Amino acid sequence: PLDIILLVSLLAGTAWYLLKGKKKESQASQFKSYSIQPTTVNTMTMVENSFIKKLQSSGRRLVVFYGSQTGTAEEFAGRLAKEGIRYQMKGMVADPEECNM
């Protein structure tokens, strides 16, 4: 008889635990309401550090972006930009932190 009492109490506790969680989820989802407002960005003004403006003014067609604190990526990006000459593309190297995207 003790094992039956333990089994029934275990099943009842499990059912209570599972049903308690579903009630809270359904109540919580009723009250949550989000509204997302889009932000407007003025794209008409171009800033001096725009990589597109630099490309157009220098007549280049290839940009190699790098992101590194050590300088290794900058060196490799320079090599890739020089490699573009083999394919008739003048290249430039740019750090994304210094450019406006």
Residue 27 is predicted with a pLDDT of 57
Q: Residues 3-31, buried b or exposed e (16+ Cβ, 10 A)?
A: eeeeeeeeeeeeeeeeeeeeeeeeeeeee
Residue 50 is predicted with a pLDDT of 79
**Phi, psi of 57, deg, nearest 5:** -75, -30
Residue 53 is predicted with a pLDDT of 85
Residue 48 is predicted with a pLDDT of 60
pLDDT in tens, the chain (101 residues): 789 999 999 999 999 888 886 665 555 556 666 676 766 655 544 456 678 888 888 888 899 998 877 788 889 999 999 998 888 888 888 888 877 76
